[in-house]
Amino acid sequence: MSIKTTDLCDEFGASARVLLPIFQDLGGKPDFQGPAVTVKCFEDNSRIKELSCQAGAGRVLVVDGGGSDRCALFGDHIAEDLVRNGWAGVLVYGYVRDKAVLRTLPIAIKALGVTPAKSTKRNEGQVGLNVTIAGQTIADGDQLFADDDGVLVLDASRVQGAA
């Protein structure tokens, strides 16, 4: 990644919305940048599975799982789909599993942590909603940046300024 979050904070000031530092790096890469695709789901990964099978085109999957630690919203199979389909990264306000495999994949995965329990499939969840996680609201299409220093969001209208 060529653009550092620290440089973006310096350049954009308060309009660079920094997420609270609550995420762990669980993928094989520490950084991502790209437009957000938001999904809101609680203990059901049906929408995540559907999205992982679509062309990512360098986008970042932003999952609002409500912070639940009762189950993982995805593991190695979905992560492998995300890599295969060209997603830039995943930000999960929730938990994932298969940490040992996730660390070997060439994708950035930031989540609250890991748990071995799998999610249910009730065909629930919504795509494209504004989600509020880690102190910031993220809209579908907002530009996300993440590296070892943290995660930040720029409004979609600022994308040209960050490119």
SS3 string of the chain?
Answer: CCCCHHHHHHHHHHHCEECCCCCEECCCECCEEEEEEEEECCCECHHHHHHHCCCCCCCEEEEECCCCCCCECCCHHHHHHHHHCCCCEEEEEEEECCHHHHCCCCCEEEEEEECCCECECCCCCEECCCEEECCEEECCCCEEEEECCEEEEECHHHHHHHC
Question: Along the 163 residues of the chain, how does pLDDT read in single tens digits?
Answer: 468 999 999 999 999 999 999 999 999 999 999 999 999 999 999 999 999 999 999 999 999 999 999 999 999 999 999 999 999 999 999 999 999 999 999 999 999 999 999 998 899 999 999 999 999 999 999 999 999 999 999 998 765 544 4
pTM: 0.94
Report all structural domains of the chain as residue ranges with CATH numbers, in order of start: 5-158 (3.50.30.40)
